């Protein structure tokens, strides 16, 4: 299951970590965010042990959203060893998320 994180936790869990992490920048009022939410959860379950999956509510955590220049949501970013290596905007289907993740994992 995707873990909800805050600005205060972001560096420790994402930018100062090793391995692959996906961050879903979202907000509760966002329709497309609600559409992609179940896809993120499904990916989190399938990739358990291979990568971390986080959700960051941009309304409650504006500092991180501004730092990564999140202008529209949902924005999904993959971080490898703390650096952004891939991102997508909008409600993308599960297979597209899985394909990008597998590519980054070298699968």
pLDDT of residue 72: 94
Largest Cα separation within the chain, whole Å, is: 35
DSSP conformation class of 54: E
Residues of the chain with pLDDT under 50: none
Tokens describing residue 55: 């959700």
Tokens 């873990």 locate to: 3
CB 1 within 8 A of CB 80: no
pLDDT of residue 34: 94
Q: Is 7 helix (H, G, I), strand (E, B) or coil?
A: helix
CATH number at residue 9: 3.40.30.10
Distance of CA 19 to the CA centre of its chain: 14
* Domain extent at residue 49: 3-105
Q: Which of 30, 40, 43, 47 is catalytic?
A: 30
Q: Does residue 30 carry a catalytic annotation? A: yes
User: 5 Cβ partners below 8 Å, 6+ apart?
Assistant: 13, 14, 23, 54, 55, 56, 61
pLDDT of residue 55: 97
Q: Which of 33, 40, 47, 65 is catalytic?
A: 33
The pTM assigned to this predicted structure is 0.94
Distance of CA 44 to the CA centre of its chain: 10
pLDDT of residue 29: 97
pLDDT of residue 107: 82
Task: Measure the CA–CA gap between 6 and 56, rounded to whole angstroms.
Answer: 6
Number of domains the chain is built from: 1
């Amino acid at each position: 299951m995707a873990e909800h994180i805050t600005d205060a936790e972001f560096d420790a869990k994402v930018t100062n970590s090793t391995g692959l992490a996906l961050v879903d920048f979202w907000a509760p009022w966002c329709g497309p965010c609600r559409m992609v939410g179940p896809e993120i959860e499904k990916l989190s379950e399938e990739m358990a042990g291979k990568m971390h999956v986080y959700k960051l509510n941009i309304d409650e955590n504006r500092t991180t959203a501004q730092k990564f220049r999140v202008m529209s949501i949902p924005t999904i970013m993959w971080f490898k060893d703390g650096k952004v290596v891939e991102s997508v905007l909008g409600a993308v289907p599960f297979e597209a998320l899985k394909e990008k993740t597998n590519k980054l994992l070298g699968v």
